Amino acid sequence: MSALDLGLPSLGGLDGVPTTDEKQTAKEYTSDQEVRWCPGCGDYAVLAAVRGFLPQLGLRRENVVFVSGIGCSSRFPYYLNTYGMHSIHGRAPTIATGLAVTRPDLSVFVVTGDGDALSIGGNHLIHAVRRNINMTILLFNNRIYGLTKGQYSPTSEVGKITKSTPMGSLDQPFNPLSVVLGAEATFVARTIDANRAQLTEVLTAAAAHRGTSFVEIYQDCPIFNDGAFDVIRRGGDEAKQRIIPLKHGEPIRFGLDGEFGVVHSEDGYGLRVAPIAEVGEDAVVVHDEHRDDPSFAFALSRLSDQDLTHTVTGVFRNVDRLAYDDGARQQLKDARSTGQADLGTLLRGKDTWTVGTD
């Protein structure tokens, strides 16, 4: 069901949020709080990108809210001069849900990490994206627990040696995008902390999307998982051979000279990487982020190897589906237009009797 099925106008992600004509700056979005992340933390780059990107939205600053859970990344709201809540571990999507449902005039962001969103808060994450509630979720994935000083996380590679796993971690990691695509998220993207241009581009598209926008940001933890993403983070030839950038409507190709392409795998179920010289230009899949069936985006998510041999970045999926909160507000509106709301009538109900009148 989409908004159109309900007779609602097609909405943009920021429709209903008051805007301003006044020019805004990153400085205005900067709070007076001293930033307390470790030197070299990838969070700084994301914070700078967000401070730079928010003024471009042209929203009234008081109508922007950042909600976070617990973890290094969840300190994010303190550093922005908007409304914000630093809540409890894993629960930010629930708080954002109540806020988004009751306040269509707010632009709601959730900042979370791999432990916060995928371990303790995994349930809330999948249900938020399933419902498609108007919020933008930024998941900072550094594949480690930072604030608790270096235990493996649900996105750490198998065999990870940490304080809590001296003989290596045993559990299979989540691929965060596969998880949310399994829950049929309507907007799914991935980017890297060091790539400010793509970060800004993806965040802009996420904000414009009506419903839940999920953005995974690979982020470096220089203290407990230093260099985890270096092979794709440092740019240059190595990154070019590993990163598969997505552009809607364009063939999916990459490599030093674009010599590799994404093609359908032989079994017909998924996608694989192939040298274009072998498979031919026509075999290269053209990216369509609007495909309704999430299987395509899911197949793209499976191309991202845990060891970063390949990593797909950009917008995987961007489809229109009724946002829960739009539907919930419409039900209230419908009830108000057809039903009476007289408290006395409600309290009396259908069957009353009267005792004495004197």
Partner 1 sequence: MTIPDTTVQASTNDGSPSSTGTNGHHRAVEVQKRHRVVIRFAGDSGDGMQLTGDRFTSEAAAFGNDLATLPNFPAEIRAPAGTLPGVSSFQLHFADYDILTPGDRPDVLVAMNPAALKANIADLPLGAILIANSDEFNKRNLTKVGYEANPLEDDSLSAYTVHSVQMATLARGALAETGLSKKDAERAKNMFALGLLCWMYHRPTESTERFLREKFARRPDLAEANVLAFRAGWNFGETTESFAVTYEVDPAPLDTGTYRQITGNTALAYGIVAAGQQSGLPVFLGSYPITPASDILHELSKHKAFGVTTFQAEDEISGIGSAIGAAFGGALGVTTTSGPGISLKSEATGLAVALELPLLVIDVQRGGPSTGLPTRTEQSDLLQAMFGRNGESPLPVIAPRSPGDCFDAAIEATRLAVTYRTPVILLSDGSLANGSEPWKVPDVADLPTIDPGFATEANATDGSGEFWPYQRDDDTLARPWAVPGTAGLEHRIGGLEKADGKGSISYDPDNHDRMVRLRQAKIDNIPVPDLVVDDPDGDAELLVLGWGSTYGPIGAGARRVRAMGLSVAQAHLRHLNPLPANLGDVLRGYKTVLLPEMNLGQLALLLRGRYLVDVKSYTKVSGLPFQAEELQNLFLDALKGELL
Nearest residue (CB) to partner 1, 106 versus 276 = 106
Nearest residue (CB) to partner 1, 170 versus 332 = 332
Residue 188: closest CA among 283, 318, 49, 58: 318
Nearest residue (CB) to partner 1, 107 versus 169 = 107
Task: Name residues whose C-beta falls within 8 Å of residue 299's C-beta, 6 or more positions apart in sequence.
Answer: 269, 270, 271
Length of the chain: 358
Nearest residue (CB) to partner 1, 266 versus 337 = 337
Tell me the β-bridge partners of 189. Answer: 215, 315
How far apart are CB 280 and partner 1 at their closest, in Å? 47
How far apart are CB 98 and partner 1 at their closest, in Å? 3
Q: Are 283 and 261 in contact (CB under 8 A)?
A: yes
Q: Which chain residues interact with partner 1 by CB under 8 A?
A: 18, 31, 33, 60-63, 65, 67, 70, 77-78, 80-88, 91, 93-103, 105-106, 123-124, 127, 328, 331-332, 334-336, 338-341, 343-344, 346-349, 351-358
Nearest residue (CB) to partner 1, 27 versus 197 = 27
Angle of the 92-102 helix axis to the 324-338 helix axis, nearest 10: 30
How far apart are CB 328 and partner 1 at their closest, in Å? 6
Q: b or e along 122-148 (b: 16 or more beta carbons within 10 Å of the residue's beta carbon)?
A: eebbbebbbbbbbbbbbbbbbbbbbbe
Q: b or e along 321-345 (b: 16 or more beta carbons within 10 Å of the residue's beta carbon)?
A: bbbbbbbbbeeeeeeeeeeeeeeee
Residue 113: closest CA among 175, 68, 48, 180: 68
How far apart are CB 80 and partner 1 at their closest, in Å? 8
Nearest residue (CB) to partner 1, 94 versus 141 = 94
How far apart are CB 49 and partner 1 at their closest, in Å? 19
Nearest residue (CB) to partner 1, 21 versus 351 = 351
How far apart are CB 291 and partner 1 at their closest, in Å? 27
Write down the residue that tokens 């409600």 correspond to.
Answer: 346
Other CB atoms closer than 10 Å to residue 272's CB: what's the count?
17
How far apart are CB 220 and partner 1 at their closest, in Å? 25
